[in-house]
């Protein structure tokens, strides 16, 4: 059974992102990743259970409607950036659990690309760096920011690098090279690293349990 409301969260507004963005190639194809959105959905649900109101900005299938949860559906990194920026007005916490694509095709075909040539070359350009853009816009002033890092090697070192580069308050990292956890799986195992150098591991468990633990840790630091 998951824990009940947390008085330290009651009345706070969380913005949570979920899923993997889809960057279109043509009307039927896209560049994407393996993110299912399950972790972000569970984080949003956990925050609601613990007393927060939540805006979930998702590129995946959203959870069922429930009181205290607003869902904003997006597809691309650009759309997610705009939706998060709009949702941050009056927000206290941002959890960036989405797997945002790093690249997008420079040119998107208006029509379905047909088979023909033996090869197809796509020119890719960087997508918007959502957290950096929001910092530049001062949209994150006063917001407690939690980032996620899906890594396959040098897991903790890479996560600490992201913590500094993105000016995060916390980073949640998992080793997605391990079978049965992380992207697309029902379970997760994460390590949470704080700007103050603190480090806490949540052992493998269903994502609902992991999400509750993450939100509790956030609550202990926000107020």
DSSP codes of every residue in 135-157 = HHTTTTTT-EEEEEEEESSSHHH
Please state, in angstroms and rounded to a whole number, the distance separating the CA atoms of residues 47 and 176: 24
Specify the pLDDT at position 1.
47
The pLDDT of residue 182? 78
Please give the CATH number for the structural domain made up of 13-103+126-222: 3.40.50.10300
Q: CA 104 from chain center: how many Å?
A: 18
Condensed to tens digits (0 to 9), the pLDDT of residues 64-119 reads 899 999 999 999 999 999 999 999 999 999 999 999 999 999 999 999 998 877 88
Q: Say if CB 94 and CB 145 are below 8 A apart.
A: yes
What residues are annotated to the active site?
33
The token pair at 66 is 């429930």
Residue 190: which of 169, 208, 171 has the closest Cα? 171
**pLDDT for the residue 177:** 87
| pLDDT of res. 132 | 93
Q: How far is CA 223 from CA 110, 139, 200, in A?
A: 49, 20, 19
What is the reported pLDDT for 3? Answer: 57
SS3 125: strand
- Contact assessment for residue 207 and residue 42, using Cβ atoms and an 8 Å cutoff: yes
Q: Which regions in the chain score pLDDT beneath 50? A: 1
Domain spans, the chain: 13-103+126-222
* pLDDT at position 4: 60
């Amino acid at each position: 059974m998951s824990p009940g409301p947390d008085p330290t969260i009651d009345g706070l507004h969380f913005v949570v992102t979920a899923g993997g963005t889809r960057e279109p190639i043509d009307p039927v194809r896209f560049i994407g990743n393996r993110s299912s959105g399950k972790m972000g959905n569970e984080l949003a649900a956990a925050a609601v259970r613990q007393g927060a109101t939540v805006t979930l900005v998702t590129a995946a299938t959203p959870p069922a409607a429930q009181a205290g949860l607003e869902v904003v559906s997006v597809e691309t990194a650009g759309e997610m950036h705009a939706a998060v920026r709009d949702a941050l007005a009056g927000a206290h916490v941002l959890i960036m659990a989405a797997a945002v694509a790093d690249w997008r095709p420079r040119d998107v075909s208006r029509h379905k690309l047909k088979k023909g040539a033996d090869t197809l070359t796509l020119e890719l350009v960087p997508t918007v760096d959502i957290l950096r853009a929001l910092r530049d816009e001062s949209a994150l002033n006063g917001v407690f920011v939690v980032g996620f890092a899906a890594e396959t090697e040098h897991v903790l070192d890479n996560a600490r690098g992201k913590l500094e580069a993105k000016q995060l308050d916390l980073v949640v990292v998992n080793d997605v090279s391990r079978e049965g956890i992380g992207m697309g799986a029902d379970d997760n195992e994460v390590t949470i690293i704080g700007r103050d150098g603190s480090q806490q591991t949540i052992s493998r468990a269903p994502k609902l349990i992991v999400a509750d633990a993450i939100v509790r840790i956030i609550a202990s630091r926000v107020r």
